[in-house]
Structure 1
Amino acid sequence: MTNQYNSDSIQSLGILGGVRAKPASIGLESHNHTFLEILGNAIDEHRAGYGNEIIVTKNKDGSVTIRDFGRGVPMGKNSDGEWSYKKVFDELWAGGKYKNNEEDGGNYLYSLGTNGVGATGTNYTSDLFKATAFAQDGNIYHVEYEKGVEWKKGLQIRKNEEGEKVGTEITWRPSAEVFRGKGEIDDEFIIETLKDQAVVNGGLKFIFKNHKTSEESVYYYENGVIDYIKSISSNEHALTDVIHFSTEQKGKDNENDKDYKIKADIYFAFNREASFSRYYHNSSWLENGGTPEDFIKNSFTFVIDKFLKENNLYNKNEKKISFDDVADSLIIVTSTYSTISLFTDQTKKKINSDFMKVAITKWLREQLEVYFTENPMEADKIVKQVLINKRSREKAEQARLNIKKKLQSTVNNITNRVDGFVNCTSKDNTKTELVLVEGKSALGAAKQGRNSEFQAIYALRGKILNCLKSDYDKIFKNDIIVDLLKILGCGVEIKSKHNKELNSFDINNLRWSKIIIITDADVDGYHIRTLLLALFYRLTPTLIKEGKIYIVESPLYEIINNDKSYFAYSDQEKDEIVSKLKGKFIVQRSKGLGENTPEMMWETTMNPETRRLIQVTMEDVEEMQKYFDLFLGDDLQGRKDYIETHLHEYIEHALD
């Protein structure tokens, strides 16, 4: 039977059905996006001068309620006898923000929403939707919808006898059948959004009441962005105070377009150690950037490069700075506004405006040049730090290129050239293991006491470099480290200032399913183990995160009874074994790896059936960083304090 395609094949879902089937057709990209639409309307009321508090409630049934204290959404009849609530909640492309660019500024001069689809789109894509207006006329208007369809009882109107404050309250629960099983706004999304909006809307308090977890949070910055930047820029490393430039201009993108107004607030500070950037437009975070990102990059790079040239601060034949060098020490938040929508789509994650780009770039360059002229000490600090960032970046990039050249080998042709490396026969990297042993003295026993099919051995030549305290130049001149990286095969994760990636790393090129560290159970062995973990943490942290790094627990005691050996990994295990033995027995400290027989090496450390592997997991990373920094980093005072606090524990343990 053939498929028929004719006039009867054409179907119509209708507007409501179409939106529920394809919410992206009106710009609703996810269940979480509906939260932005409803919250945006409440924020617009504040920006218009009405209401300084917004209450967000996560209800026990998973729905969300947003209560503002603005003017109350109009829900009664207009002069044509039409119900306004139907236009707001049940008609696409209907709203009160289309005349923002008129001479009188309309109801909302600079509003987040202008397309007239947010409230209706949220209603259409929700299982339930309730709207209540505590109106200025003394009435309360209430209407409810189910899957976009108004309940039969229609609009309910009653007197506001309880004295509820004027404003709007919207409750909704996104439809799981519309958003691929997602029927509840994520808590994390709510929290991050409210934090964001508190930053860019200084003086507006956001209260989040989560009835599902019985938690309540408040997000509020009295001075908005200025307070937020101060919280990021620590005084210890600050190069400048928070600087604020502001402008309002009028223009158009093309000759035939109508003029529109723009407003720009630029807040920034320079800091030796901290960096941050965030761009907002009409209070929406521009996750994908656009015009503000363009004029910031252009202006800061141009002015700082000009200053460096005019003051002969570049070395001879030195390349000019890039914005990355500036951004490494720049904390910046921009908040722009326009009287027409500049968003590239309904998600409001990017804007584009030729007029804004040209006008703000010209203005911002002028402001920065004036600032540099009037504040020579701060200017000098800024440009010198930018040069440090630049040279650090170039040094790290050169290190990456150098190590990439050094590591361009295959596992086969390095076998005979890497001192202390014994390969296995298998090339299946889902089964092969790389065993790192302590010193060449352990190589003989390890080589004989292994499964040569899938276990390769690399014997370390003494204690390796402390990779946390060394710069890349020194690290990559160390033959032991370079040889180990060659054997791994996956490259390195080199980072410049503020952990910006300059990678040649690819985990798909890792030649081993496991990297296993085996050291003696003594002070030297623990030290070598720690240095190896520091190496992986600094140069290949993804191997730790992906669970590729293991430590073999070495036995502390060997107990000999009737020519049979038992191995204990703790005092408790030793006591348990001894209690079960009959006849005479000998308890001795387990031999070092270099004294092990191949049989003992296989049984205690190499045999997958009997060895004890400790996987270094993702959960260990933060704790590991804390102790790496304390014991192997530059915190000398921290080490002294730790020793003073814990020395008695080690003395007591030694005496026992």
Structure 2
Amino acid sequence: MTPNYDEGTIRTLDWQEHIRKRPGMYIGKLGDGTAADDGIYVLLKEVMDNSIDEFMMGFGKKITIDIENEKVTIRDYGRGVPLGKLLDVASKMNTGAKYDSKVFKKSVGLNGVGIKAVNALSSKFTICSVREGVAKEIEFSRGMVTGEKDLTGVEEANGTKVVFEPDPEVFKSFRYISDYVVNMVKNYTFLNAGLTIEYNGERFYSRNGLRDLLEENMDDHPIYPVIHLKGEDIEIAVTHGNRYGENYFSFVNGQHTTQGGTHLQAFREVYVKTIRDFYKKDFDPSDIRASIVAAVSIKVEEPVFESQTKTKLGSKDVGPNGPSVRAHVGNFLQTELDNFLHKNPDTAEILLRRITESERERKAISGIKKLAKQRAKKVSLHNKKLRDCRIHFDNKNDRAEESSIFITEGDSASGSITKSRDVNTQAVFSLRGKPLNTYGLTKKVVYENEEFNLLQAALNIEESIDDLRYNKIIIATDADVDGMHIRLLLITFFLQFFPELIRKGHVFILQTPLFRVRNKKKTYYCYSDEERRDAINILKGKPEITRFKGLGEISPDEFKNFIGKNIRLDPVMMKKHESVSQMLEFYMGKNTPDRQDFIIENLYVEKDEVA
């Protein structure tokens, strides 16, 4: 029987219902906080963008952020939202000053949606505006007003304060990872020289903008002083290091466009052309850009982003009557970089040396590369190391984001994971014992070592990580000394040759339970001594306690509980206070055997320093 299709079947959702029903349209993926682009960070960013826009317009030089027990408080010292419009700004769609380009010329949040999405997706949301001793405060819950008050004789400085708690009904199990928040805060200060941001009492400030950003994010020392070029509505900083890969930071109107877009594409192409023209040599683009570290920031009116979360710029034009973004970036870079190199022959000489070194190394390994490819082709026909999945990260598929690969040690662990995985989105790659320590070796080893060559082929990252086949690369090793050592050797391999995988948040450690605590009615899997004690207290009596020594001891039926929707992952992050060189030297350098034993045995305690 055909269901009735009449007036009664048509419904109009309230604004907050629509956001709560389709949160992905407004904040991208929900996530649990283990990835830098998870929804809880987008909520934080949407509120911050409003405060940053105030600073960009010349109001308020300080912003404070406090996060405690997942409750976020953000206070700026700008003009404060006009009190009569406070309710509309927080709860009426398509309301905001940013439609009036005279007030906010080049802001990020142009759609009037951001703060409403935060409101609708928070269990508690409070906004308070102070203007010349008068204040108004409105409280909401899931987008509905729960309280309102007007205050006079307020002795606080002008500005706006927003307090929100992400709704556990929407975000389920989540946590803010401080390193991600610190990275976001630092980027805001690099892009807004002169702005002070205090996060949980720690002060962040930048005097030199993008130059500071590069120096802070370099894995080693720049081989020549950072080239810093500034123009109207455009800023570029560029240098080279000694590490593999290309490292870019791109921004539009203060928004970190993690997926690049028109402006970054233009930079990469025009940089190559300018260098070729300057040296009058037809260098290979890969040699010119090898080891490059660059930051590009542009400001445009009415930018067009390719998604609501604004991580990729799609704009072709700078303004209604301005040149294209490509021409704007290209013309500026070509002129300014060429001028700089003519005026600084020492830098030009070092850069030329770096390009020719890269060319030499590329040619030296081209022969072995060819052999390795032929070998990998033969092996891949019956490659027992890789048990692939059906959906890949580079597919145009709704579930491409879920695509992941587990790197395991030995047959028993890979067997358990293979039997319990989701064959659509989870692949398994088995290691044979301990991989080679690649610390201090050249990229030649990636082709000479069969295991690493097959891993590189499985991930599809030889040419570029743009072709990466899995969104999450999950290191799944035992929590014992050998397992920890293998974990370190793999992280060393990625840091040494494919650091972008770690920078872009693709590498994770699988947490597996250390204990199973159960009685006849209930079973708890515990990831720490504390969780084990809690489970014993809940079950009372004398529950059965099993200590898992390795992944192979966990049956496939049980493994389903740890790699499904309740999977626990620790992101491998690069600590900004420590360069890759220092990290690798400390953990994988030629230490005495005693020192290496000490490091490996204490690895579980020290894992935050590594990851």
TM-score (norm 1): 0.58
**1:291 to partner: Cα distance:** 1.9
Alignment-derived partner of residue 307 in structure 2: 345
Tell me the distance in 2 between the aligned counterparts of 1:217 and 1:270.
30
Give the secondary-structure state (helix, strand or coil) at the position aligned to 2:454. Answer: coil
Contact map agreement 1:42 1:68 (CA 8 A) in 2: yes
Alignment-derived partner of residue 480 in structure 2: none
CA displacement 1:595-631 (0-9 Å, x = unmatched):
xxxxxxxxxxxxx99xxxxxxxx99xx9996578533
| 1:197 lines up with 2:182 in the alignment | no
CA displacement 1:174-217 (0-9 Å, x = unmatched):
2233x3425765544423311221222222121122xxxxxx43
Q: Following superposition of structure 1 onto structure 2, how do residues 484-495 of structure 1 map, counting pairs within 5 Å? A: 485=450, 491=454, 493=456
Query: Amino acid of the residue matched to residue 164 of structure 1?
Result: E
Alignment-derived partner of residue 87 in structure 2: 86
Query: In the superposition, relative to structure 1, how do residues 624 and 32 fare at CA in structure 2: closer, same or farther (>3 Å)?
Result: closer
**1:389 to partner: Cα distance:** 1.9
- Specify which of 171, 185, 202 is matched with residue 163 of structure 2: 171
Larger Rg: 1
Alignment-derived partner of residue 14 in structure 1: 14
Tell me the distance in 2 between the aligned counterparts of 1:122 and 1:87.
14
Tell me the distance in 2 between the aligned counterparts of 1:180 and 1:625.
36
CA displacement 1:461-509 (0-9 Å, x = unmatched):
xxx99976765769978xxx7xxx4xx79825499xx9987999999xx
Alignment-derived partner of residue 287 in structure 2: 325
Alignment-derived partner of residue 579 in structure 1: none
**1:8 to partner: Cα distance:** 3.4
Contact map agreement 2:48 2:74 (CA 8 A) in 1: yes
**1:6 to partner: Cα distance:** 4.7
Give the secondary-structure state (helix, strand or coil) at the position aligned to 2:284. Answer: coil
Contact map agreement 1:109 1:339 (CA 8 A) in 2: yes
Give the secondary-structure state (helix, strand or coil) at the position aligned to 1:67. Answer: strand
Alignment-derived partner of residue 538 in structure 2: none
- Specify which of 266, 270, 276 is matched with residue 305 of structure 1: 276
| 1:150 lines up with 2:159 in the alignment | no
Alignment-derived partner of residue 352 in structure 2: 383
Give the secondary-structure state (helix, strand or coil) at the position aligned to 2:98. Answer: coil
In structure 1, stretches of 5+ residues that fail to align are: 77-83, 101-105, 210-215, 249-262, 315-319, 415-428, 434-457, 459-463, 508-512, 515-529, 548-607, 610-617, 632-637, 644-656
- Specify which of 589, 603, 610 is matched with residue 630 of structure 1: 589
- Specify which of 269, 284, 302 is matched with residue 239 of structure 2: 269
Query: Amino acid of the residue matched to residue 51 of structure 1?
Result: G
Tell me the distance in 2 between the aligned counterparts of 1:304 and 1:272.
19
State the number of aligned residues: 448
Contact map agreement 1:198 1:204 (CA 8 A) in 2: yes
CA displacement 1:327-372 (0-9 Å, x = unmatched):
3332211221123233333312122224121122122111122222
Contact map agreement 1:63 1:184 (CA 8 A) in 2: no
**1:290 to partner: Cα distance:** 0.8
Query: In the superposition, relative to structure 1, how do residues 500 and 203 fare at CA in structure 2: closer, same or farther (>3 Å)?
Result: farther
Tell me the distance in 2 between the aligned counterparts of 1:504 and 1:26.
27
In structure 2, stretches of 5+ residues that fail to align are: 30-38, 318-323, 384-409, 415-431, 471-475, 478-484, 499-506, 511-551, 554-569, 572-579, 597-611
Tell me the distance in 1 between the aligned counterparts of 2:235 and 2:374.
47
TM-score (norm 2): 0.62
Q: Following superposition of structure 1 onto structure 2, how do residues 89-168 of structure 1 map, counting pairs within 5 Å? A: 89-100=90-101, 106-136=102-132, 138-151=133-146, 153-154=147-148, 156-161=149-154, 163-168=155-160
Query: Amino acid of the residue matched to residue 370 of structure 2?
Result: L
| 1:402 lines up with 2:371 in the alignment | yes
Alignment-derived partner of residue 556 in structure 1: none
CA displacement 1:137-180 (0-9 Å, x = unmatched):
x20111111221112x54x222134x211111011122233x34
Q: Following superposition of structure 1 onto structure 2, how do residues 504-583 of structure 1 map, counting pairs within 5 Å? A: none
Alignment-derived partner of residue 285 in structure 1: 256
| 1:52 lines up with 2:37 in the alignment | no
CA displacement 1:562-620 (0-9 Å, x = unmatched):
xxxxxxxxxxxxxxxxxxxxxxxxxxxxxxxxxxxxxxxxxxxxxx99xxxxxxxx99x
Contact map agreement 1:110 1:338 (CA 8 A) in 2: yes
CA displacement 1:489-542 (0-9 Å, x = unmatched):
9825499xx9987999999xxxxx99xxxxxxxxxxxxxxx99x9899769999
- CA RMSD, 1 decimal: 4.8
Tell me the distance in 2 between the aligned counterparts of 1:505 and 1:361.
28
Contact map agreement 2:436 2:489 (CA 8 A) in 1: no
Alignment-derived partner of residue 473 in structure 2: none
**1:135 to partner: Cα distance:** 0.7
CA displacement 1:53-110 (0-9 Å, x = unmatched):
11111244x321100011111112xxxxxxx12321121111111122xxxxx22232
Contact map agreement 2:241 2:292 (CA 8 A) in 1: yes
Alignment-derived partner of residue 342 in structure 2: 373
Query: In the superposition, relative to structure 1, how do residues 14 and 273 fare at CA in structure 2: closer, same or farther (>3 Å)?
Result: closer
